[in-house]
Structure 1
Amino acid sequence: MSARSLNKVILIGNLTRDPELRYTPQGTAVCTLGLATNRGWTTDQGDKKEETEFHRIVAWNKLAELCNQLCAKGRRIYVEGRLQTRQWTGQDGQQRQATEIVIEDMILLDSPANRPQMPIVSDQATPEQVAEDIPF
């Protein structure tokens, strides 16, 4: 028996493009997303540096359909999943390889930019409103 291991990825970042939803020939939903993460640091000389990494995110089944409905370019999301590397032969006969994060969980961390903010509604009436509603 082999020793235990762990393949887990957790990222928080911004979507770089709108989701792309496709279906396999068997009818399974698969959605791909682009995610950017940033890392900042200060050099020994005191200069501030920033580096951006771009990640290919893949969701399957119901999560794929939810990602397609809820995600959009620019949204900030949390994803949790595993790292996977695929290899295939391209149409030109060349070997290709892609490393991607296959997610099992996704949380939206912001509200959609195009959705108007809902007014704050209280379920408690003011004394004036209550007095007007009492019929005596």
Structure 2
Amino acid sequence: MLNQIILMGRLTKDPEVRKIGEKQISKGWFTLAVDRPKYGDAQPQADFIPVVVWRSTAEFVGRNFHKGKQVYVVGRLQTRNWEQDGVTHYGFEVSASEVGFADAPQKQGGQAKGNANTTPNTTDGVPAGDIFGDANGFPDDFPGFGSDFGDEEVDEDTLPF
């Protein structure tokens, strides 16, 4: 059986992190707003997905994630139930095993946010060789294949596909 979910969205508010239980294990939770695909003239819609994280991942989330931040989550979908006023309620949440930043690095005045001294080998505050490192925001993955292919004739019989 396979139960894996991958989501990318924005945090609806700052995550909550607490120590729980006798062993004081870190538990964190947040809600992720995930856009639905837009078809035609339909108004944009989002699903609001509860996410729970544990231990060092919870501590990482508490230190680094904030409202509005775009993040990705990898984990499993799980159901839970609780009783309230004599009625059993059912819900779901994502138990995340991996979380990370999905935003592009933000620049302020030609420097990346944060301490530029922590990023060696930088150009304009962005690490050299980083996928966001060139003037257009992306590296030239295919040198020589720009909008101008030159005057060369391509023999289709020599193409490998």
Does residue 120 (structure 1) correspond to residue 116 (structure 2)? The answer is no
* 1:57–1:103 Cα contact (<8 Å) kept: yes
Structure 1 unaligned regions, length at least 5: 123-136
Does residue 32 (structure 1) correspond to residue 25 (structure 2)? The answer is no
Q: CA RMSD in A?
A: 2.5
Indicate the SS of the match to 1:100: strand
User: How far apart in 2 are the matches of 1:75 and 1:7?
Assistant: 26
In the other structure, the counterpart of 1:128 is none
Aligned sequence identity (%):
32
* Residue among 44, 48, 51 paired with 1:54: 48
In the other structure, the counterpart of 1:14 is 10
User: How far apart in 2 are the matches of 1:100 and 1:14?
Assistant: 16
Does residue 84 (structure 1) correspond to residue 78 (structure 2)? The answer is yes
Runs of 4+ in 1 over 6 A off after TM superposition: 112-115
TM-score, normalised with respect to structure 1: 0.73
Does residue 23 (structure 1) correspond to residue 19 (structure 2)? The answer is yes
Q: How many residues align?
A: 114
Indicate the SS of the match to 2:86: coil
Q: Deviations over 1:102-124 (max 9, x none)?
A: 000001122579994656389xx
Q: Which protein is richer in strand relative to its size?
A: 1
* 1:13–1:37 Cα contact (<8 Å) kept: yes
TM-score, normalised with respect to structure 2: 0.62
Structure with the larger RCO, 1 or 2 (CA within 8 Å, 6+ apart): 1
